[in-house]
Structure 1
Amino acid sequence: MKIDVLVAEIGSTTTVVNAFNKIDSSTPSFLGQGQAPTSVLEGDVRIGLQGAIDDLAQNLNEKSIDYVEMLATSSAAGGLKMTVHGLVYDMTVRAAKEAALGAGANLHQITAGKMRRSDLKKLQEIKPNIILIAGGVDYGEKDTAIENAEKIADLNLNVPIIYAGNIENQEEVRLIFEDTNSRLYIAENVYPQIDNLNIEPTRKIIQDVFEEHIIHAPGMKQVRDMVNGPIIPTPGAVMEAAKLLKEKMGDLIAFDVGGATTDLHSVTEGSEEINRILLSPEPVAKRTVEGDLGVYINMQNILDLIGKEELQKEMDFDIEQMVESHVPIPRTDKEIRFAERLAQEAVKISVQRHAGHIRNLYGPGGKTTVAEGKDLSGIRYVIGTGGALTRLPHGKKMLKSILYSNQKNKMMPTEEATVLLDHHYIMASLGVLSKKYPEAAYHLMKESMDWNGAEKSESKN
């Protein structure tokens, strides 16, 4: 069988391939999905990729699969490990952090100010895929970024370096890394002026660097034998899909509840009313990663947040026994109800952490109302992707539980928002597909979310 485009999602444990046809037409189609264990640890990613393709062929009742293009996302081998080093935590460091997270990185170290010996020792132990250096508004403070660059260069780590700080330092930073093993990439300043975030150029460079260097990672060296299109980090692919949907549909937030973490991607400018009282700028596209909220590996953290006694009152079965026998893929009615309760708590806590809040300050001039963080009150769509929300029966109900009419001091999505599910679980695949085929990706995303049907249903209610 001939397929136009296969998109592979190379995860830490499982590799999934999604098949798409008529990709250049007005009616692109999603054909099906195959999966197999990821084989990066065996030293050759192609084994898992071919296994997933063979599984796809079986699911489609075909003897074999031929494809024209294969694109990929990857979170294997720890995903995109990055460290970020800036000047002031609430300014350049935060801007650099937002750029890295939005590109799909897992942040293993964040430092503010001049790096200490302990910071450098930890940096060596982390062995990051990319190091991001920032610091200073354009034509402002120069010394901190220069000193940090010199210290990192002295380590000679053979790791790609991105410099996204004060424009005046660019030539100096080039000289610092000239004779090292690290390849240097220069980006526009992530924080060129006070209260001005400029993170998109750095996000793009991070993804380009990831694609260029992922093929040198253990087990990934042969990936180009099969993948002939873009390769980007899986969380970054979800963000690409979210940004495309925002452009076409309006402001949104996407939840990805997994076994180990819960990722949120919001794409919204926020309301004019809130922006007038916002203490510091927020990126239009923001990603947060709740590393303690997972429905399998980090189940115990969610249980502690709910409270076992409280959960026992809700459920009509033995919670202790369920915890001991908890499985990654629930099958029985009890297992499904238990997993759904964990997922609902992950959704609730993660959005509370992601959303900003309003507070009052009191000074000599009286009370002043200010806002901090991301304003989600104008969100039009709440989207669920990931296994827990798309494969458990009540994904929409879980997402609807966060919509309230009375937000108090939290800038949360309201009950006016429409809840959608990525039924085919292809949002990450469509994110990487959108890099080359944006219209096809949008069409397929609407189909997966049954968007037109959801709109009709909402308008009747």
Structure 2
Amino acid sequence: MGIAILIDFGSTHTKVLAVDIDDEEILGRAQAVTTVEKDITIGLNLALKKLFTENDLKESDITNKYACSSAAGGLRMAAIGLVPALTLEAARRAALGAGAKVIWSSGYELDELQLQKIEDNSPDIILLTGGTDGGDRKVILHNAELLAESNIQAHFLVAGNRSVVQKVKIILDEGGKNAQITHNVLPEVDRLDIEPAQALIRNLFIKQITEAKGLNKAQNYIGDIVMPTPSATLQAATLLADGTENESGIGSLLVVEVGGATINIHSVAEGQPSNSNIILRGLPEARIKRTVEGDLGIRYNAPSILEFVGSQVCLSQLQAMAADVNLNTSELTDLAQGLSNNVGHVPNTDFDFCLDRVLAESAVAFAVERHVGTLRQEFSLAGEIKVQKGKDLTQVNNIIGTGGIFKYGRAPEEVLCSALFDPQKPWSLKPISPTAYIDRDYLLYGIGLLAEDFPDKALRIAKRSMVPACLNIHKGKLASVAS
């Protein structure tokens, strides 16, 4: 078989991995700043040169090449639905599960101001939904007519009420738009059907979006981009959890993926209520789920994280980690803005590492809280009841941290602890006492890529490469909650 090169064109860095497929061994890794604004092959070639030099490899040794990408913000999508809690939420789930970043969404009928916002956000794809099968027709037709008359340039996917989607496509086509039809993402009020839309989104990414991101310049070397990076990580998570016919998985899991532009959370777990006394409400949750938080990347969004947490709180956390920190909140805000302006910044001082840790811990806590479900007490005619919305991940078996902060940061375990159940927020159904692992080799995206052709080998490499992490201090604190 030989050696595989696994490439990720990230928003901040281009990562490359070399894997010996026969021996199921990681030979080495390297990275360089992603150069999508100039020529993406510049960063790729720098990373490959470093990889080959440091690991005594030659181009002639390489037999397989796979690549994924989230460069230049990844696959940008707008989701449009009917009722926000139903068809719009179904559309968002379809987009996120396919590896896209939902940069704008809206329910009900669009207006001119919203059209302008869509145009300003420049999505690659617009997912247009609305109405269960045989249900509302008016809203999706209204929205199609406005979109057809607009100056918006994007690929349109129509995934709404099947009794009207052909007419919607005709309206969009007559307006000069490029539209395709797929299955309704919400054919019935209590049933999702998002897989066909996800498959079409991934296919569009491979065939068309790579050119829009400048990745066609790298295709002479690597061939097609296989998938968006978040899809590769989600595929790796599913492989690790479920295993293959020949190799057992490790069970339910939550993956925390920290990046410079986004925080991605992936879960492979049923997420059902922990006991029969809890009432489950809302749309059914997918067992394999991904959420992306575009406002929590620890480079692009450092100022936003500071704003969410409070600059004084972050400053106090920094001072607790490094007693010699001597700055005020205004200076801290300037430093956060500096990170946002220089997204390729690599920490090289104790203070840099501490600041990254504070930002990552806060971002992870927010991101996982948004991903998991909630449990609340309500009152009915029958008395007090407990109502769950979303997935209960309190009993998930495993948690994995991946991304630059877990590869290069000095406190990866502490960052991962931020994803755990917080007794001060008992309504948030975060994991209580999972077995923890750190993706020290920044490998998960590569496992997802390799799994395309070598699932058994990819799984064995992943299981050997995940480094156990000790979260015992936090587990002890949470033991009384779990019981």
Distance 2:33 2:314 in 1: 34
* Alignment equivalent of 2:102, drawn from 98, 107, 114: 107
Q: Which residue of 2 aligns with 1:459?
A: none
CA contact (8 A) 1:240 1:431 kept: yes
After the TM superposition, which of the residue ranges 212-221 and 136-145 deviates more from structure 2?
A: 212-221
After the TM superposition, which of the residue ranges 251-260 and 148-157 deviates more from structure 2?
A: 148-157
Q: Which residue of 1 aligns with 2:165?
A: 170
CA 50–3 in structure 1, closer or farther in 2 if over 3 Å, else same? farther
CA contact (8 A) 1:6 1:67 kept: yes
Q: Which residue of 1 aligns with 2:323?
A: 316
Mapping for residues 258-277 of structure 1, pairs under 5 Å: 258-273=259-274, 277=279
Distance 1:72 1:113 in 2: 38
Mapping for residues 439-458 of structure 1, pairs under 5 Å: 439-450=456-467
In the alignment, structure 1 residue 32 sits paired with structure 2 residue 28: yes
Distance 2:18 2:460 in 1: 15
Amino acid at match of 1:413: P
Distance 1:316 1:369 in 2: 44
Amino acid at match of 2:438: L
Mapping for residues 57-136 of structure 1, pairs under 5 Å: 57-62=52-57, 64=59, 66-136=61-131
CA contact (8 A) 1:157 1:181 kept: no
CA contact (8 A) 2:118 2:152 kept: no
Q: Which residue of 2 aligns with 1:12?
A: 11
Amino acid at match of 2:254: I
CA contact (8 A) 2:12 2:260 kept: no
Q: Which residue of 2 aligns with 1:45?
A: 40
CA contact (8 A) 2:362 2:418 kept: no
CA contact (8 A) 1:15 1:36 kept: yes
CA 350–334 in structure 1, closer or farther in 2 if over 3 Å, else same? same
Q: What is the Cα deviation at residue 384 of structure 1?
A: 0.2
Distance 1:32 1:116 in 2: 52
- TM-score between both structures, scaled by the size of structure 1: 0.88
CA contact (8 A) 1:69 1:228 kept: no
In the alignment, structure 1 residue 286 sits paired with structure 2 residue 289: yes
Q: Which residue of 1 aligns with 2:246?
A: none
Q: What is the Cα deviation at residue 418 of structure 1?
A: 0.3
Q: Deviations over 1:362-416 (max 9, x none)?
A: 233322221112211121111000011232233124323544595733212012x
CA contact (8 A) 2:318 2:358 kept: no
Q: Which residue of 2 aligns with 1:298?
A: 301
Q: What is the Cα deviation at residue 273 of structure 1?
A: 3.9
Q: What is the Cα deviation at residue 165 of structure 1?
A: 1.2
CA contact (8 A) 1:271 1:377 kept: no
Structure 2 unmatched ranges of 5 or more: 244-249, 340-344, 471-483
After the TM superposition, which of the residue ranges 260-269 and 206-215 deviates more from structure 2?
A: 260-269
Distance 2:421 2:173 in 1: 55
Distance 2:217 2:375 in 1: 51
Identity percentage of aligned residues: 33
Amino acid at match of 1:131: I
Q: Deviations over 1:167-187 (max 9, x none)?
A: 222322332334454332222
Q: Which residue of 2 aligns with 1:378?
A: 395
In the alignment, structure 1 residue 432 sits paired with structure 2 residue 439: no
Q: How many residues align?
A: 447
Mapping for residues 205-216 of structure 1, pairs under 5 Å: 205-216=200-211
Q: What is the Cα deviation at residue 272 of structure 1?
A: 4.7
Distance 2:268 2:171 in 1: 37
* Alignment equivalent of 1:339, drawn from 353, 356, 360: 356
* Alignment equivalent of 2:346, drawn from 313, 317, 329: 329
Distance 1:408 1:272 in 2: 15
CA contact (8 A) 2:270 2:287 kept: yes
Q: Which residue of 1 aligns with 2:475?
A: none
CA 128–363 in structure 1, closer or farther in 2 if over 3 Å, else same? same
Q: What is the Cα deviation at residue 104 of structure 1?
A: 1.8
Q: What is the Cα deviation at residue 424 of structure 1?
A: 0.7
Distance 1:173 1:325 in 2: 49
Q: CA RMSD in A?
A: 2.7
* Alignment equivalent of 1:414, drawn from 415, 424, 432: 432
Distance 1:325 1:115 in 2: 39
CA 137–120 in structure 1, closer or farther in 2 if over 3 Å, else same? same
Q: Which residue of 2 aligns with 1:54?
A: 49
CA 58–413 in structure 1, closer or farther in 2 if over 3 Å, else same? same
Amino acid at match of 1:277: I
Query: What's the secondary structure of 2:327's corresponding residue?
Result: helix
CA 54–371 in structure 1, closer or farther in 2 if over 3 Å, else same? same
Distance 1:272 1:165 in 2: 30
